[in-house]
Structure 1
Amino acid sequence: MSLKNLETYKSHILEYGFSIIDNVFSDDEVEKIIAVLNGIDTSWENFRKSEDLFAIRQFLKEIPEIKDLIFNDNIQRIITEIFGEKYFVVKSIYFDKPETSNWYVAYHQDLTISVDKKLELSNFGPWTTKQNQFAVQPPLNILENIYTIRIHLDNTDENNGALKVVPKSHSKGIYRPETIDWKIESEKICNVEKGGVMLMKPLILHGSNRTTNGKKRRVIHIEFSDMELPEVLQWAERIN
């Protein structure tokens, strides 16, 4: 399955903050990814498990054998033609929202990056530390530069937690969700088919509702940048 012209998706994400591309992975490719996921040991400390959510942080580092399955020709084209030639992975998470999940996510922006250490740096902060993983809010230009790919392993709509977004909110800087004026903003539900991807800018306001249709929602979330951090700091999850 080769993707047609990617320019339309590129212009859409730049203007609206998101874009949806179907048929990036064949059914066979999705099944191979799911087979690897079904075989992993879920007791590791980077795994978070509850009735409502199962998540693997630093996903590509924890499950390195999955990289070849994820970076197929279509994904590599999306990275180079939509993001840019020099973009590399800076963060990856796997989310499994089970069939009975009551997990919902309020509107928010993704405002932190994963870095290798904590130190005093002007315009970097606040900081959070979880299990020796350091996250920090960087200067706005670093956040504006990031692109996210969300690979969908299941058909996803508003009934099983598809993302809802506020189009164009990615171009308004730090945007506090409690200040959304629904008289001027709109909401878009981002349905994605199994094997499709959603591209988004992390500054777009996004959230998701509880699952109501008893269907799974499994998503691989990968963030990319082509910016180097100030020389004393490194991207914690960098993969070229």
Structure 2
Amino acid sequence: MNLQNHKNSIIEEGFTVINNIFSDEEVKKISEVIQDIDTSKETFRKSEDLFAIRQFLKEIPEVKELIFNENLKRIIKEIFGENYFTVKSIYFDKPEKSNWYVAYHQDLTISVDKKVELENFGPWTTKQNQFAVQPPLDILENIFTIRIHLDDTDENNGALKVVPKSHAKGIYRPETIDWNVETENICNVERSGIMIMKPLILHGSNRTTNGKKRRVIHIEFSDRELPEVLNWSERMN
């Protein structure tokens, strides 16, 4: 694994794809753990188009050692650095019949433990007693997101599409995208592979058209401490 190329790609383009991070056996075990859970809690969201588990690593702690295998730990250390910790985790299942389309957007909020008035923090949202806030830009610029793929994913079952280099342009309103200047890249990822991206990259996904599942574990990492009164709600070293 030549990780320097991937590191350069994340810095310059805002994303990279690395396949073969997990063995078939590891993917199978992760899938089995997810299938066995009690889905009645309020952190779980279920509809025909989407099944999601918020605070995934907290809700299913037994999956942690399967996910953080030697390959992933090495990637985090060499690409992100020694001091990074997880700050958010979600599991998404985009089922075979999903008509769920996600318009271009940036990930502009972080999950925190409470709502407090703080300069440069806002707007705030609250979902199911979970607090999310848009922090200052430097905190967002510092986050890395890893998306672990449990299924082969391409443009026919909701692979992420991104606008390369858009992560370096600050807050970028999707309605102002000039397609004469920007390009779109579809990020195909093999089952057992990962995509790493900066949350400020403009990204979205199309509906599923090939009747195949798309299961993804989304984990965000930071090495920043928040102002004293505020904590990352899912902080985990």
Residue number in structure 1 paired with 2:172: 175
Q: Displacement, 1:188?
A: 0.2
Cα deviation digits, residues 114-133 of structure 1 (max 9, x gap): 00110100000000001110
Aligned equivalents of 1:45, 1:143: Cα separation in 2: 27
Q: Which of 49, 52, 60 is equivalent to 2:57?
A: 60
Query: Does 2:70 match 1:73?
Result: yes
Question: Is 1:204 the counterpart of 2:187 in the alignment?
Answer: no
Q: Distance in 1 between matches of 2:231 and 2:81?
A: 20
Matched, 1:194 2:168: no
Please state whether the residue corresponding to 2:224 is helix, strand or coil. Answer: coil
> In structure 1, what is the Cα distance between the partners aligned to 2:227 and 2:42?
29
- The aligned residue for residue 92 of structure 2 is 95
Correspondence for 1:134: 131
Q: Which of residues 144, 147, 151 is equivalent to 1:147?
A: 144
- The CA deviation at 1:38 is 0.9
Deviations 1:100-154 (A, max 9, x none): 0000100000000000110100000000001110000000000000000000000
Q: Out of 220, 223, 226, which is 1:226 matched to?
A: 223
In 2, distance between residues paired with 1:194 and 1:129? 33
Q: 2:129 matched to 1:125?
A: no
Match of 1:161 among 154, 158, 161: 158
Q: 1:5: how far off?
A: 1.9
The separation in 1 between residues aligned to 2:180 and 2:6, in whole angstroms, is 27
Deviation at 1:159, TM superposition (A): 0.1
Equivalent pairs counted in the alignment come to 237
Q: Work out which of the residue numbers 85, 88, 98 in structure 1 matches 2:82.
A: 85
Number of the residue aligned with 2:30: 33
Where 1:189 maps in the other structure, the secondary structure is strand
- Code of the residue aligned with 2:45 in structure 1: it is R
Q: 1:43 aligns with which of 36, 40, 45?
A: 40
Q: CA deviation at 1:219?
A: 0.1
User: 2: distance between equivalents of 1:98 and 1:80?
Assistant: 33
Report the Cα distance in structure 1 between the residues aligned to 2:77 and 2:38, rounded to whole angstroms: 33
C-alpha displacement of 1:77: 0.6
Q: Which amino acid aligns with 1:230?
A: P
Q: Secondary structure at the match of 1:219?
A: strand
Superimposed CA distance per residue, residues 172-223 of structure 1 (whole angstroms, 9 cap, x where no aligned partner): 0000000000000000000000000000000000000000000000000000
Counterpart CA distance in 1 for 2:93 and 2:171 is 28
Structure-2 separation of matches of 1:131 and 1:190: 31
Q: Which blocks of at least 5 consecutive residues in structure 2 are unaligned?
A: none
CA offsets, 1:34-82, max 9 Å, x none? 0101111111110000000000000000000000000000110111100
| TM-score, structure 2 as length reference | 1.00
Q: Which runs of 5+ in 1 are unaligned?
A: none
What is the one-letter code of the residue matched to 1:59? F
Q: Which residue matches 2:110?
A: 113
- Report the 3-state secondary structure (helix = DSSP H, G, I; strand = E; otherwise coil) of the residue aligned with 1:123: coil
Moved over 2 A (4+): none
Per the alignment, in what secondary structure is the counterpart of residue 82 of structure 1?
Answer: helix
